[in-house]
Amino acid sequence: MFYQLLTSTEFTFMDISISKKDVFWSYVAQALNYGSSVLLLPIILKTLPEHQIGIWYIFSSITSLVLLLDFGFLPNITRIVSYVYSGAQKLKKEGLDDITTSNEINYDLLKTIIHVIKKIYMLITGLLVFLLIFGGYWYLRNIISPEEHTLWIAFYIFCIAISMNFFYSYYDALLLGRGKVKNANQAISYAKLLNLILAATGLFLGYGLLSISIALLLSNIVCRFLYHRAFYDFDTVTKLDRANVENPKDVFNSIWFNSKKLGLVSVGTFLIFQANMLIAGQFFSLSEVASYGLVVQLFSLLAIFSRLYFTSHLPRFNSLWMGNNVSKLKGEFIKSMKIGWALYALGSLVIIFAGRYILQIIGSNTNLPNLSMILMFGFIYLMEITHGNSGIFLTTKNTVPYVLPTIVSGVAIFCANLILIFYFHLRLEAFGISTIFIQLSYNAWKWPLEVIKELKIKFKDLYA
């Protein structure tokens, strides 16, 4: 173990458990959260002209770019809130050793955390609004003509929606960190169902991208309202009212220490996955952008769905580290990985062997790229499930060991893409080739190996 925790005679913690209802609602929520995109996809492909489909994928990439501004705060705050609800009486910049714990929640500490993160997200959202208005216009001015007024209106409504969503995203950390996985996912479910209904109706009525942006804005408002109501129950409000904000600067320093590392990781991740779409938008036709965006969307959605069992158990992993329960950690980590691999394998077979046929049935205006591209991105997201889950698992110990490798890999992939496009005259396949070779050189094996060492996983454990 990297950390020696206090013995049982000195250490008391409150275990955060994840029930079957939590897991069930995780699948329901993400089935609607990302499944709504899948259900909406045939309508989009049927009702939007191809150039608007390409613009829609560029909008999606801008959303990914916006997430960089979070700079690692959200996952770090989620983990810290889990520690507080597990009885931690103070925060530490790194590691879990020497943390005083109790079977009582420190509401002074919790109120201070909420106070700090509200200020953080208010400042970042102000920067976000500025970047979206001016940076978004600069990027899109060569893609959307000045005469396409409806598309520009759709873009700015889209900007309002994602700005509001970003500001209130700290509610995600509060609810998930508290272990109220079911409540968080119920809110997502209702909001995404509303989004699906409104967007589909608008598309069928001929309002195009405008309907998608309006639906996103209204569903975000509903989701944040439900999140607030779920976290601020009567008991929590009463105890927080009695609590005091103490040493906010110290709390910020504790949050920032690992957040800045996760923020750098998010930059590297963006360069690995999302930056390709922005490159494609500038150098390839919108038809190619739409085809590339489709295959990436399908495999990324499949990967997210396959990782749901793992991600829903993150508060549980955080809590088990606080209790130094390595045997349970090993069993639950292995189980989550096997479930993820099985679901991903099944979904990949459907995309590979039936994807084109399904698109033909729904009358899509965009098709998948060639088989080699499909296989490359299927393999890329399989790697992401494996080493991505392993890396995230390591952060549940309040440490982030993979900052530099992720940044180096992201920069290397970004540069390799440009080299393959400009000097070797490759098209979309450049994105797959660069990502596979660079990820295999380090990340794909390093972080699974670290988890194997940490949990002392043997080959026979995979069959347990």
Question: Does residue 4 sit within a domain?
Answer: no
Question: Does residue 12 sit within a domain?
Answer: no
What is the pLDDT at residue 357?
Answer: 87
- Asked if 289 and 57 touch (Cβ cutoff 8 Å), the reply is yes
pLDDT exceeds 80 at position 200: yes
SS3 state at 101: strand
What is the pLDDT at residue 10?
Answer: 33
Long-range contacts of 26-30 (CB under 8 A, 24+ apart): 26/181, 26/185, 26/308, 26/309, 26/311, 26/312, 27/308, 28/185, 28/189, 29/184, 29/185, 29/186, 29/188, 29/189, 29/192, 30/185, 30/188, 30/304, 30/305, 30/308
* Listed ranges 168-177, 299-308, 383-392; the one with the highest mean pLDDT: 383-392
Question: Does residue 204 sit within a domain?
Answer: yes
pLDDT exceeds 90 at position 73: no
What is the pLDDT at residue 236?
Answer: 87
Instruction: Write out 118-183 in H/E/C secondary structure.
Output: HHHHHHHHHHHHHHHHHHHHHHHCCCCCCCCHHHHHHHHHHHHHHHHHHHCCHHHHHHHHHCCHHH
DSSP secondary structure code for residue 6 in this structure: P
Distance, in Å, from the CA atom of 86 to the CA atom of 109, rounded to the nearest integer, reads 13
Question: Does residue 184 sit within a domain?
Answer: yes
Stretch 138-165: mean pLDDT: 85
- Asked if 144 and 45 touch (Cβ cutoff 8 Å), the reply is no
What is the pLDDT at residue 141?
Answer: 80
As a whole number of angstroms, the longest Cα–Cα distance in the chain is 72
Of residues 433 and 5, more confidently modeled: 433
Residue 105, CA atoms < 13 Å, CB-side half-sphere? 20
Of residues 109 and 8, more confidently modeled: 109
**DSSP assignment of 355-379:** HHHHHHHHT-SS----HHHHHHHHH
Stretch 155-182: mean pLDDT: 85
Task: Count other Cβ atoms within 10 Å, centred on residue 332.
Answer: 18
Q: Would you state the structure tokens that stand for residue 378, as one six-digit string?
A: 């299927």
Confidence of residue 230 (pLDDT cuts 50, 70, 90): confident
Single-letter amino acid code for the residue at 428: L
**Percent of the chain's residues with pLDDT above 90:** 19
Confidence of residue 387 (pLDDT cuts 50, 70, 90): very high
Q: Would you state the structure tokens that stand for residue 446, as one six-digit string?
A: 């390093």
Question: Does residue 49 sit within a domain?
Answer: yes
pLDDT exceeds 50 at position 13: no
Question: Does residue 199 sit within a domain?
Answer: yes
**How many domains does the chain divide into?**
1
What is the pLDDT at residue 5?
Answer: 28
Distance, in Å, from the CA atom of 308 to the CA atom of 293, rounded to the nearest integer, reads 22
Stretch 314-326: mean pLDDT: 74
Of residues 341 and 23, more confidently modeled: 341
Domain that holds residue 33: 20-463
* Listed ranges 120-129, 234-243, 336-345; the one with the highest mean pLDDT: 336-345
* Listed ranges 16-20, 216-220, 229-233; the one with the highest mean pLDDT: 216-220
DSSP secondary structure code for residue 88 in this structure: B
What is the pLDDT at residue 17?
Answer: 53
Confidence of residue 3 (pLDDT cuts 50, 70, 90): very low
- Asked if 158 and 210 touch (Cβ cutoff 8 Å), the reply is no
What is the pLDDT at residue 98?
Answer: 54
Confidence of residue 378 (pLDDT cuts 50, 70, 90): very high
Confidence of residue 34 (pLDDT cuts 50, 70, 90): low
Of residues 1 and 393, more confidently modeled: 393
Stretch 188-214: mean pLDDT: 88
Question: Does residue 1 sit within a domain?
Answer: no
Of residues 354 and 65, more confidently modeled: 354
Question: Does residue 10 sit within a domain?
Answer: no
pLDDT exceeds 50 at position 4: no
Stretch 356-379: mean pLDDT: 85
